[in-house]
């Protein structure tokens, strides 16, 4: 009798445990969906505003669904801001900055991670300490220096510093390089490879995940940069997309529907890059923390 009761009680305990687990998962996913909607709300607001006319944007009470839908807002907004010229300038600056950051940061990180020289750890600490210095502190000396070089109203102040490295990217790449076994370096040196060939032919091909992180961060920061182009670019045919969005900000009113439409177009390459490179981005972040 006791055995029969025990055999009947076990499925009940198992069913109750599964029920509690199912309820816990349901609550967890509901909270995640709610949090996702909260974070997506600004993007939904941007999309909603970009499809309305100006009167409907300012209407009280707020309307979430555009009626009618104005797809021509995108065409008119891009026409106002001379989109092809601004896109060309932004792409040129972004591509050059990414190339400079990948080459310079990977080379410096290779030196800190794989080469032995006096004062290596001290110099690396000095490099990391520069990350604590706000960029605005050095902005005036940099402007004076670039004006002395005659680089004002050109892309040189925005591109050339990228070829001298960025502390954050150097740190990421160094952490990744330290996870690669040094036996590869020894085998390459036995075959006659120099440090330059080891960096170019061995370390860089193995560093695709962390290089993807550098490319994604560099693309986002350069594509959305507003402060640098605002200071150094003067003529209209050299300005970038971030400066082009100022067209819709007037003295007496701001054309919110055009501003949101143009902002959505400017934002779309960043979203596409992150979506397609998300796997490499996550893998690179994880692998940089495997070894200190």
- Interval 133-166: pLDDT, tens: 888 888 999 999 999 999 999 999 999 999 998 9
Alpha-carbon dihedral sign for residues 60, 64, 70, 76: positive
Fold of 73-288: MetI-like fold (1.10.3720)
Residue 88 pLDDT grade (very low, low, confident, very high; cuts 50, 70, 90): very high
pLDDT 10s digits, 1-31: 455 555 554 555 577 788 888 889 999 999 9
In the chain, % of residues over pLDDT 90: 46
pLDDT 10s digits, 218-261: 999 999 999 999 999 999 899 999 998 888 877 667 888 899 99
Q: Span 55-76, mean pLDDT?
A: 87
Of 201, 222, 203, 220, nearest in space to 211 by CA: 203
Residue 292 pLDDT grade (very low, low, confident, very high; cuts 50, 70, 90): very low
The rounded mean pLDDT for the chain is: 86
Domain definitions of the chain by residue range: 2-50, 73-288
Give pLDDT, residue 241.
Answer: 93
Q: Span 254-269, mean pLDDT?
A: 90
Q: Span 265-282, mean pLDDT?
A: 82
Residue 265 pLDDT grade (very low, low, confident, very high; cuts 50, 70, 90): very high
Residues in the chain: 292
Pick the range with the lowest mean pLDDT from 128-132, 190-194, 248-252, 263-267. 248-252
pLDDT 10s digits, 130-139: 888 888 888 9
Give pLDDT, residue 287.
Answer: 60
The C-alpha atoms of residue 168 and residue 242 are separated, in whole angstroms, by 24
Give pLDDT, residue 246.
Answer: 85
Give pLDDT, residue 231.
Answer: 93
Residue 81 pLDDT grade (very low, low, confident, very high; cuts 50, 70, 90): confident
The C-alpha atoms of residue 267 and residue 13 are separated, in whole angstroms, by 52
What DSSP letter does each residue of the chain carry, written as one string? -HHHHHHHHHHHHHHHHHHHHHHHHHHHHHHHHHHHHHHHHHHHHHHHHHTS-HHHHT-SS---S-SS--THHHHHHHHHTTHHHHHHHHHHHHHHHHHHHHHHHHHHHHHHHH---TTHHHHHHHHHHGGGS-GGGTHHHHHHHHHHHT-TTSSHHHHGGGGG--HHHHHHHHHHHTTS-THHHHHHHHTT--HHHIIIIIIHHHTHHHHHHHHHHHHHHHHT--HHHHHH--SGGG--HHHHGGGGB-SS-B-HHHHHHHHHHHHHHHHHHHHHTHHHHHHHHHHHTS--
């Amino acid at each position: 009798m006791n055995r029969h009761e025990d055999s009947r009680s076990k499925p009940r305990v198992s069913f109750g445990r599964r029920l509690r687990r199912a309820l816990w998962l349901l609550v967890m996913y509901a909270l995640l969906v709610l949090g996702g909607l909260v974070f997506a709300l600004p993007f939904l607001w941007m999309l909603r505003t970009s499809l309305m006319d100006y009167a409907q944007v300012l209407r009280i009470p707020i309307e979430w669904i555009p009626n009618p839908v104005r797809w021509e807002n995108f065409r008119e907004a891009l026409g106002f801001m001379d989109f092809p010229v601004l896109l060309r300038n932004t792409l040129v600056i972004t591509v050059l900055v990414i190339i400079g950051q990948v080459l310079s940061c990977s080379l410096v990180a290779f030196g800190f991670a794989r080469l032995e020289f006096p004062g290596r750890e001290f110099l690396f600490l000095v490099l990391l300490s520069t990350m604590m210095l706000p960029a605005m502190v050095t902005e005036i000396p940099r402007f004076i220096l670039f004006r002395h070089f005659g680089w004002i109203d050109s892309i040189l102040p925005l591109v050339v510093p990228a070829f001298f490295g960025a502390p954050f990217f150097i740190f990421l790449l160094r952490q990744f390089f330290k996870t690669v076994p040094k036996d590869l370096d020894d085998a390459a040196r036995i075959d006659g490879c120099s440090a330059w060939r080891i960096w170019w032919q061995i370390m860089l091909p193995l560093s695709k995940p962390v290089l993807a992180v550098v490319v994604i961060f560099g693309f986002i920061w350069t594509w959305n940069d507003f402060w640098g182009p605002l200071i150094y670019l003067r003529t209209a045919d050299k300005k970038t997309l971030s400066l082009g969005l100022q067209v819709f900000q007037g003295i007496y009113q701001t054309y919110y529907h055009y501003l949101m439409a143009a902002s959505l177009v400017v934002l779309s390459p960043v979203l596409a890059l992150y979506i397609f490179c998300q796997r490499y981005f996550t893998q690179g972040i994880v692998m940089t923390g495997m070894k200190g």
